[in-house]
Amino acid sequence: QVQLQESGPGLVKPSQTLSLTCTVSGGSISSGGYYWSWIRQHPGKGLEWIGYIYYSGSTYYNPSLKSRVTISVDTSKNQFSLKLSSVTAADTAVYYCARVGSSSGYYYEFQHWGQGTLVTVSS
């Protein structure tokens, strides 16, 4: 059973870059067949898709965040990462990583999730 675990600083200062890593166990990112995604949830609010990456490095980003987001993959470590630049208090949220599958060729089924990590943006 695949498991995902987010890691990274829980506190980031405004204007700095938020960096998180998701470590995957129970399955290999380089096997292909899945996209690997970041999703966030503002306190008490709904889910927001940030973007996702394939093992080859192909990425897709939410247009509203695209100018500040970079998702990368390290297949040697079986990890993928999120960088969000120029953060403000509005970026305070629980950040989840997830494995995205497809039964139809369209990747949108968030099948497995990490437990989430709260990142607070504050000075």
Partner 1 sequence: QSALTQPASVSGSPGQSITISCTGTSSDVGGYNYVSWYQQHPGKAPKLMIYDVSNRPSGVPDRFSGSKSGNTASLTISGLQAEDEADYYCSSYTSSSHVVFGGGTKLTVL
**What does the binding site for partner 1 look like in residue numbers (CB under 8 A)?**
37, 39, 45-49, 52, 60, 62-64, 96, 100, 103-104, 106-111, 113-116
CA distance 99 to 12: 25
* Rg for the chain, CA atoms, rounded: 14
* Residue closer to partner 1 (CB basis): 61 or 79: 61
Helix/strand/coil percentages in the chain, nearest 5 = 5, 50, 45
Kindly state the tokens that stand for 85.
């630049």
Task: State the nearest-atom distance from the C-beta of 109 to partner 1, in Å.
Answer: 5
Task: State the nearest-atom distance from the C-beta of 98 to partner 1, in Å.
Answer: 8
Task: State the nearest-atom distance from the C-beta of 34 to partner 1, in Å.
Answer: 13
Task: State the nearest-atom distance from the C-beta of 60 to partner 1, in Å.
Answer: 5
* Residue closer to partner 1 (CB basis): 6 or 91: 6
* Residue closer to partner 1 (CB basis): 16 or 48: 48
CA distance 35 to 50: 13
Neighbours of 13 (CB within 10 A): 11
* Residue closer to partner 1 (CB basis): 52 or 79: 52
Q: 61 pairs with which residues across the strands?
A: 51
